[in-house]
Amino acid sequence: MAVEVLIPKLGLTMEYGLIEEWLVAPGTPVKPGDPLLRLATDKVDVEVEAEGSGLFHPAVESGAELPPGALIGWLLEVGEAPPGVAAGQAPPAAAPATTTETATATAAAAPANARHNGRLFSSPNARRVARERGIDITQLTGTGPGGRIITADVLDAAQQAAPAARPGATSPLVRRDATAAGVDLAAVTGTGPGGKVLRADIAAAARPAASAPASAPASTAQVIPLTGMRGVIATRMHASLQEMAQLTLGTEATMDAAVALRAQLKEQWQNAPTITDLVVRAAALALREHPRLNASVRENAIHVQPEINVGLAVALEEGLMVPVLKRADQLPLSAMAAETRRLAQAARTGKLTLPELEGGTFTVSTLGSFGIDFFTPVITPGQVAILGVGRLRDSVRWEGATPQRTQVLTLSITFDHRAVDGAPAAEYLRSVASRLTNPLTLLA
């Protein structure tokens, strides 16, 4: 019995999902929990896992954008055919249209295939190479023992096909790039194996047109499309700076007691808090006293939020994610430390769920581990402030005329001047700093 693969609904507001990439090849056996595809929504990139087992058979190509519940493939039993072609798009056509001489020639030769009771004999390596080069093996003539198709036959076909850019031999990703860049695929010379058109070829073809009006730079630039997570970051950060009146204040927090407390907790707790955890705890408690920084500006009004939900910016190899600590002011320090660790780990492994990314009312961003002392963070849209955390570093404190070694870190607060003025923002920042200076209040 075929198991249907559907676009999952990942959040209440999700209206469509973009199949960024199929993670398994057609015909691959999968079991529950195996990642099947990468799906992008307007909020999040997720891996969708198989819910049943069987041989995977896609119904649509990657690049398709469909609403939740749409049928995108099946998990079939061995020997089972996909139940009709009910999905929006038919699977890729078996043979390329006879528009080129090569295609006509191979089609004419097709009946010579060694078929034995309907089975086409071909070597496993020939099938692998054909798959990798996008060659339809059913169109080949075998020259191995008994007419078996062997690797050499596939390579011969690849060489013959090289001059013509066959649309059947390009990957869906390449076709999507071509459409997006307005490039005519047929006019592109492929540099891949067997003349296959690669993404780089599309980028190269798109470049002269884009830079034509200005004096074209001699060197070739790398093109990174603003899609997926990159696209989300670009849109949101630009919107933030465009909508809000942002400015940043900074101050130093003395950390000697906090560092000592952390060292003590490290010996006693399994999930000892990090310095960042202490800062997040201090920030959440201080928000209780300064609720105007835990707000949202919309429809010409400041909406003070009923809950304190703190987002934590986590840097990833390709961008960043902001998982949210719900009711952060009500989480005891130990529970918070465990939760931040779990969320950061989930962010790095791409396992965050949409609810874990929604509902933030304030954000903490740290660049201390990158050696940064001070920076001006950009407010998450829908919020009015963000706290930046710098590097823990050695400094000097004066006791009378005597210099004392001390550890400090710099805190910065970017706030939306439409909602908050300089003085209350400074008071908030001082409140956070003083909680870190006297960290026993964080244990309460």
Partner 1 sequence: MREITYVKAFTESLMQLMAEDENVLVIGEDVAHYGGVFHAFDGLLKTYGEKRVIDTPISEMGFIGMGVGAAARGLRPVCDLMFFDFIGVALDQLYNQAAKLKFMFGGDVSVPLTLTTAGGAGLSAGPQHSQSLEAWLAHVPGLKVALPSSPYDVKGLMVASVRDDNPTVVVLNKRMLGTKGPVPEEIYEIPLGQANVLRPGRDATVIAVGRMVPEAVTAAEELAKDGTEVEVIDVRTVQPLDSATILASIRRTNRALVVHEAVTFGGIGAEIAAQIQEEAFDYLDAPVRRLGAPFAPVPFSPVLERAYIPDAARIASGVRGLLERTGS
Per CB under 8 A, contacts with partner 1 among 119-138 are: 123-128
Pairing of β 310-312 and β 362-366: parallel
Q: How far is the CB of 174 from partner 1 (least distance, A)?
A: 24
> Closer to partner 1 at the Cβ: 143 or 345?
143
> Closer to partner 1 at the Cβ: 118 or 124?
124
User: Nearest-CA neighbor of 388 among 412, 369, 363?
Assistant: 412
Per CB under 8 A, contacts with partner 1 among 203-242 are: none
Q: How far is the CB of 149 from partner 1 (least distance, A)?
A: 10
Per CB under 8 A, contacts with partner 1 among 137-176 are: 141-147, 150-152
| Burial class of residue 373, CB neighbours in 10 A (0-12, 13-18, 19+) | middle
Nearest 10 degrees: CA dihedral of 116, 119, 120, 123?
A: -100
201 is catalytic: no
Largest CA distance in the chain: 98
Contact by Cβ (8 Å): 419, 291: no
User: Nearest-CA neighbor of 205 among 189, 224, 221?
Assistant: 189
Confirm or reject binding of residue 24 to partner 1 (CB under 8 A).
Answer: no
Q: How far is the CB of 376 from partner 1 (least distance, A)?
A: 53
* Active-site hit among 116, 156, 238, 421: 421
User: What would the two tokens of residue 234 be?
Assistant: 């670009």
Q: How far is the CB of 133 from partner 1 (least distance, A)?
A: 14
Rounded Cα gap, residues 151 and 193, in angstroms:
14
In the three-class reduction of DSSP (H, G, I as helix; E, B as strand; rest coil), residue 304 is classed as strand
User: What would the two tokens of residue 405 be?
Assistant: 């070694």
> Closer to partner 1 at the Cβ: 143 or 330?
143
DSSP 197-221: PPHHHHHHHHHHHHHSSSPPPSSPP
Q: How far is the CB of 138 from partner 1 (least distance, A)?
A: 15
Q: How far is the CB of 155 from partner 1 (least distance, A)?
A: 11
DSSP strands (E only) in 205-321: 246-254, 295-298, 301-304, 310-312, 314-316, 319-321
Per CB under 8 A, contacts with partner 1 among 57-116 are: 112, 114
Q: How far is the CB of 128 from partner 1 (least distance, A)?
A: 4
Q: How far is the CB of 55 from partner 1 (least distance, A)?
A: 16
DSSP 81-122: PPSTT-SSSPPPPSS--TTSHHHHHHHHHGGGS-EETTEEPB
> Closer to partner 1 at the Cβ: 105 or 109?
109
> Closer to partner 1 at the Cβ: 116 or 288?
116
Per CB under 8 A, contacts with partner 1 among 347-406 are: none
Neighbours of 263 (CB within 10 A): 10
417 is catalytic: yes
AA letter at 305: Q
DSSP alpha helix (H) spans, 290-410: 333-348, 354-357
User: What would the two tokens of residue 134 be?
Assistant: 């996008």
For partner 1 (CB under 8 A), the number of binding residues is 18
Rounded Cα gap, residues 433 and 33, in angstroms:
45
250 backbone dihedrals φ, ψ, rounded to 5°: -135, 150
User: What would the two tokens of residue 182 be?
Assistant: 């307005």
Rounded Cα gap, residues 35 and 21, in angstroms:
11
Q: How far is the CB of 173 from partner 1 (least distance, A)?
A: 23
Tell the residue number behind the tokens 């004419």, with chain if given.
108
* Binding residues vs partner 1 (CB under 8 A): 112, 114, 123-128, 141-147, 150-152
Where in the sequence numbering do the catalytic residues fall? 417, 421
